[in-house]
Structure 1
Amino acid sequence: MIEEIRRFIRHPSSVPIQVKRGEEKKQVPLKDVSKGGLCFRSQVTLATGNVVEVNILTSKPTFTAKGIVSWCKLEGDEYLVGISFQNKAVRYALRMVEQICYIEDYKKRIKAKTGRQLTSDEAAQEWIQKYAADFPPLAD
């Protein structure tokens, strides 16, 4: 199952997300995001096949979708949980979030490298000019 998930390129992210399982909501760190889903760190194990609601509050508009726990594995003293999204519209929206993660990372790298503080709009414009053409298309 993990091999199937790995056919998508994963991208690191530091965006906090909210995961809702039943009535329980937890804010957890997003580990990475890809075309097929996302991975986050959890203090508790989640059963494969469980449905969870994922909210990425830093994206505007907020990304909210129901996903399925594809895998969960222990890594150190926490769990890595893989969530997949089956709906094409949700995968497209997640793709936009993936680009936001790239842009925010670009903004941080420019600040660290040059000291230049970009606004989110400036960072987006520069990132689009430099990298958008190389961004892989959304697969069906």
Structure 2
Amino acid sequence: MIEELRRFIRHPSSVPIQVKLGEQHQQRSLKDVSKGGLCFCSAAPIAVGTLVEINILACKPGFTAKGIISWCKPEGNQYLVGVNFQSKAMTYALRMVEQICYIEDYRKRISANTGRQLTSDEAALEWIQKYAADFPRLNE
């Protein structure tokens, strides 16, 4: 179970993000969050230096921030794209949203698997107790 959770957390493909490039909106999957930014998967390369807006609407509260593409590299039949944010506060806010998404996913899985209905607060308390220690930390 813990190994499965670690794989899930390190590759949070179930956390959808919206990437806005100019007037174009693209649905993508968040790969991970690191010091200063995030990484997402893209079907096409995106030029380094491109300004983007990232939205995560799947969780409440949502997250919106502007960033800049800092790197793009091929991986299999897609591209991994790195986004840097200008503010450290944005990265920490993104981490909070990411955790909220995992907690809401946990609440839904408990309901589907056991029929037990948890409030968001109850799910947060359980998730923190069971999994927070395994949630990867940002390197300072």
State the TM-score, normalizing by the size of structure 1: 0.73
Cα separation, 1, equivalents of 2:22 and 2:75: 24
Matched residue, 1:3? none
> Residue deviations 1:90-132, cap 9 Å, x none?
1221121132244245446656876756454322121233454
Cα separation, 2, equivalents of 1:36 and 1:93: 11
Contact 1:43 1:78 (C-alpha < 8 Å) held by counterparts:
yes
Cα separation, 2, equivalents of 1:136 and 1:28: 21
> Residue deviations 1:54-82, cap 9 Å, x none?
00011212200011112111122211111
Cα separation, 2, equivalents of 1:24 and 1:136: 32
Contact 1:104 1:123 (C-alpha < 8 Å) held by counterparts:
yes
Structure 2 SS opposite 1:96: helix
Report the more deviating stretch, 116-125 or 15-24.
Answer: 116-125
Cα separation, 1, equivalents of 2:35 and 2:112: 28
Matched residue, 1:53? 53
Structure 2 SS opposite 1:12: coil
- Structure 1 residues not aligned, in runs of 5+: 1-8
Matched residue, 2:67? 67
Instruction: Write the mapping of 1:23-102 to structure 2, written as runs, cut at 5 A.
Output: 23-102=23-102
State the TM-score, normalizing by the size of structure 2: 0.73
Residues 1:129 and 2:97 are matched in the alignment: no
Cα separation, 2, equivalents of 1:36 and 1:114: 38
Structure 1 SS opposite 2:45: coil
Report the more deviating stretch, 22-31 or 95-104.
Answer: 95-104
Given the superposition, is the C-alpha separation of residues 120 and 20 from structure 1 closer, same or farther in structure 2, using an over 3 Å criterion? same
Cα separation, 2, equivalents of 1:118 and 1:93: 24
Structure 2: which amino acid aligns with 1:59? C
Structure 1 SS opposite 2:126: helix
Cα separation, 2, equivalents of 1:11 and 1:36: 18
Given the superposition, is the C-alpha separation of residues 134 and 17 from structure 1 closer, same or farther in structure 2, using an over 3 Å criterion? closer
Structure 1 SS opposite 2:61: coil
Identity %: 74
Given the superposition, is the C-alpha separation of residues 81 and 117 from structure 1 closer, same or farther in structure 2, using an over 3 Å criterion? farther
Cα separation, 2, equivalents of 1:75 and 1:62: 28
Report the more deviating stretch, 61-70 or 31-40.
Answer: 31-40
Q: Runs of 4+ in structure 1 displaced over 3 angstroms?
A: 104-121, 129-140
